[in-house]
Amino acid sequence: MKNLFCITIILLLFFSCGTKFQETEFRNKYMFSVELGKVNFTENISFVENLEMIIIPVEVNGKKYDFLFDTGSVTMVSPEFKDELKLIDNNKTSQITDASGNKSNTDFAILPKITIGHIDFLNVGVNVTDLSVFENRCVSIDGIIGANLMRTCFWKIDYNSQNIYFSDKKNNVTIPNPELKVAFKESFGGNPQTKFKWSKWDFWATWDTGYNNSIQIPDSLFFNTDDYQSLPLEKGKGLATATLYGSNKTQNQYKAVLDSLFFIERTDDKDTLSFITNQEINISPNPATSLIGNKFLKSADAVFFDWKNKEISFEKLPITKNNNTFGFVPFKIGNSIQVVSLWDNSIAKKEGLKIGDTLISLNGKNVQDISTKEWCNQFNAAQKKDSIVFIIKNNNRKTYSLEKYPLFNKG
């Protein structure tokens, strides 16, 4: 079930201080307080991909942990790190907004040291928030490495070798002859953002390695022009469960293929317009944010982030391929596995599958009252297959046998 669903995890930070001056002062003093414990270094670490997201090993106080590498977030830790944290003045809190626009207040603290490879990062400002929601998405993490830490040095993600190279010297890790360079600005939290243009709209999108799909734009932008009517468009229904603060509310979901999407390219220190064509995108309900996700970045083979010069370099021109899908998404909610997303033109829906239907078997294995770990094992195994068989129990039992198909151009 590869690419069966996406997890939108961008985490934008807005402090609950008072004025803009107070917010900036707080950010510079605490969130941007990260220091390097060493100079003149070059380091590399291996990473694993889980549902097309990057998980890296880190060390805190002699213990090893798994963290999500997320350019669209600030650094975060779970409440289990409370003994390692230093509370700041007045126990400041911050407000986090996930990719669907859902908000929550969290505590903000300082983590005195976190080690990546052999390099110590000191005085790291962190949000303290419950990350257990990731486990139901079959991603187990203890924290998130975010942009406020990354901006202290240079980073190259090599997707082919599954290594991340980082250094305080640009030339030690840069991509020698990139096919593309893109200019960016930093958001309030340090996240890289580039201005894009589609139809009559100019909009800023965040480069987000924590978003495991390609490109996301809000429906308020996409449908507010007549140009969308000439594009390939697929519609479905889904629950807003795939974000950090998601709910069980059913909402419309859309995918489209854009004819062209323009963005700012940097050539010889000059900014010019460039474009990509025939790019599949997700269209999410307002107030969702615009994102450029890890699947898009991965298609370039290697990507170099340079916060000092505000640019991203791509080894190859990033172009993602259309997804194959079974037409629906199963998700663990409470003690059951439920259908949480369904495309209107899918065989699954035409054969009677509905949002909220409960799976009792997947590929011949029972999934009733299944633990999260057991479900994730079955789910990950099913991802690798081109066909699945599952049994639904609502008023009656019904068996479905489905094969993957391309969402667009399926014939």
Euclidean distance between CA atoms 245 and 78, whole angstroms? 15
Write the CA distances from 364 to 189, 353, 388, 392, 399, integer angstroms: 47, 18, 9, 12, 11
| Vertex 341 angle, CA 258 and 232, to 5° | 20
pLDDT at 399: 94
Across 322-351, average pLDDT:
89
Residue 81 has pLDDT above 70, yes or no: yes
pLDDT digits (tens, 9 = 90+) for 128-187: 988 887 877 788 899 999 999 999 999 999 999 999 999 999 999 999 999 999 999 999
**Domain ranges (residues) in the chain:** 12-172, 180-314, 324-406
Residue 242 has pLDDT above 60, yes or no: no
Q: In angstroms, how far is CA 69 from the centroid of its own chain?
A: 9
Across 29-42, average pLDDT:
94
Residue 8 pLDDT level (bands cut at 50, 70, 90): very low
pLDDT at 372: 87
pTM of the model: 0.89
pLDDT at 103: 54
The reply to whether 180-314 shares the fold of 12-172 is yes
Residue range 12-172 in CATH 3.10.129.10: no
Across 52-77, average pLDDT:
95
- For 381, the 3-state DSSP assignment is helix
**353/23: higher pLDDT:** 353
pLDDT at 41: 97
In DSSP notation, 126-152 reads EEE---GGGGGGT---SEEE-HHHHTT
Euclidean distance between CA atoms 312 and 306, whole angstroms? 6
According to DSSP, residue 396 is labeled S
Across 330-348, average pLDDT:
90
State the average pLDDT for the chain.
86
Residue 410 has pLDDT above 60, yes or no: no
pLDDT at 331: 86
Token code pair at residue 409: 């151009």
Across 7-26, average pLDDT:
55
pLDDT at 94: 55
**61/8: higher pLDDT:** 61
The class of domain 324-406 in CATH terms is mainly beta
Token code pair at residue 73: 């977030």
pLDDT digits (tens, 9 = 90+) for 271-319: 777 778 888 899 988 778 899 999 999 999 999 999 999 999 999 988 8
Residue 388 has pLDDT above 90, yes or no: yes
pLDDT at 15: 41
Handedness of CA 198, 284, 354, 384 (dihedral sign): positive
> Which residue is listed with tokens 């854009």?
258
Residue range 180-314 in CATH 2.60.34.10: no
